[in-house]
Structure 1
Amino acid sequence: MGRVSAMVGVGLAVLAVAGCSEGVDGAAAPTSESSVSESAGPTSTSAQGSGSGLPHSGAPAVADPLPESALPSDPCEVLTPQQVKEALGEGATEGERRDLDGLGPGCGWGNKKTFAVVQVGFDTVNRQGLSAAYANAKPRSAIFREVGPIEGFPAVAYKDSEDDHRCTVVVGLADEYAISAGISLSAEKEDAGIDSCGPAERIAATVVGNLKDRAGE
């Protein structure tokens, strides 16, 4: 159990990379400790002429935002027990609340037998949305690619290497906020050479689909 809890914690720290961003005026926004200590480069504000400065750093605009009210107060409610079981197999744990300062609410699930982990975070604190991933995760990640649209929303996936068993997917639900879905593969799937970003994208799509249902869309 301790190893699963530790893996969930590491996974959520990785998600925080997308959320620690410089504000559009150059001042540092509140950040959460992450596994990467290097400072991200300055955020570009010239891409858009809007007063908010969003989107920036090359991130696409969200054409049809999802109401923020669709996000549940408890992030552990964003996946059903059956959906967690489908992602992690028999023996999946119940969701454990893992909020991150400077990012937002989060929840993690694990499997004690396989050590696979799923984590979901709501990037609602720094009000940078998907732009934060472009500004921070892109320069820090060996692999960073656009994988959207996911359920109609722009999205990116990033990880440290092609064979990394961990991958994070960030979906922009509005210019100001996003959700993050990450996965750490079981040893069996890692040995089989499965791309960790594939399952992460599927989790992200499930989460966004659930949120759209909550919004009545």
Structure 2
Amino acid sequence: MTRLARSAAGPSTVLLIATVVAGCSPAPVSPPPSPTTTRTIGLATRVPPYAGAPAVRDPLPFTVLSGHPCATALTPAQVKQILGIEATGKPDRNEPAGPTCLWENPVTARMVRVGYATTHRQGLSAIYPAPGPDEGRVWRELMVGGYPAVATAEDPEWYCTVMVGLADDAAVGVALIGRVGDTRDVCAATGQSADLVVTTLRKQVGR
């Protein structure tokens, strides 16, 4: 589990990753973090942004995350664009950081998870500061839909997570899970998926 994780993945996460690994790799692979997991913040109350996280210009209202991602994060057409098929989102009820939804293509074993980090309201600050250099590990700042974001992965060959700061105290996480040896750039594809989520959320508040 990545250093960025606040808590261990729930049973559903373990099951999801086991499905991918069983069909794609003979060697055990550490499960990826869920889209909304972060490193432990500590007992002190801190007002975001902090720890080097960028301030969010033109923030979206926190109410944009008031719904469930299964209903508000991606349209059916966007899910098909990401996975290649129409799929119904399934809630992950074991994610403590906020409501989370999973869409899966059972043929390719590819999955996309979207989580709203609403429990602690730390926004993008929760995954700062950047970790030290680690060979083969991804921790990359980027912009998604005009908002600051960070792509993280310990094994970018088959999964990546992009956290997007929608406001100083609001963030959405998008994780794309592929196959070991996938020829595409999984983090780039995750960023594209996150851009679709941001586009959908912005439309809901008339942006």
TM-score bin (small chain): 0.7 to 0.9
The two structures have a TM-score, normalised by structure 1, of 0.74
Structure 1 pair 110–160 and aligned structure 2 pair: CA distance change class (3 A): same
**Alignment partner for residue 171 of structure 2, among 178, 181, 196?**
178
> What is aligned with 1:206?
196
> What is aligned with 1:117?
111
> What is aligned with 1:146?
141
Three-state SS of the structure 2 residue aligned to 1:131 is helix
Structure 1 pair 115–24 and aligned structure 2 pair: CA distance change class (3 A): same
Structure 1 pair 3–121 and aligned structure 2 pair: CA distance change class (3 A): closer
> What is aligned with 2:75?
80
How far apart in 2 are the matches of 1:100 and 1:176?
Answer: 22
Three-state SS of the structure 1 residue aligned to 2:35 is helix
RMSD, matched Cα: 2.8
Following superposition, the deviation at residue 140 of structure 1 comes to 9.7
1:14-29 alignment, distance < 5 Å = 14-18=34-38, 20-23=39-42, 25=44
How far apart in 2 are the matches of 1:167 and 1:80?
Answer: 21
Asked if the contact 1:143–1:158 (Cα under 8 Å) also holds between the matched residues in 2, the reply is yes
Asked if the contact 1:170–1:181 (Cα under 8 Å) also holds between the matched residues in 2, the reply is yes
Q: Quick one: percent identity of the two aligned structures? A: 36
The two structures have a TM-score, normalised by structure 2, of 0.77
Code of the aligned partner of 2:191? E
Asked if the contact 1:8–1:109 (Cα under 8 Å) also holds between the matched residues in 2, the reply is no
Three-state SS of the structure 2 residue aligned to 1:14 is coil
Asked if the contact 1:102–1:126 (Cα under 8 Å) also holds between the matched residues in 2, the reply is no
> What is aligned with 1:89?
84
Three-state SS of the structure 2 residue aligned to 1:154 is strand
2:17 is equivalent to residue 7 of structure 1: yes
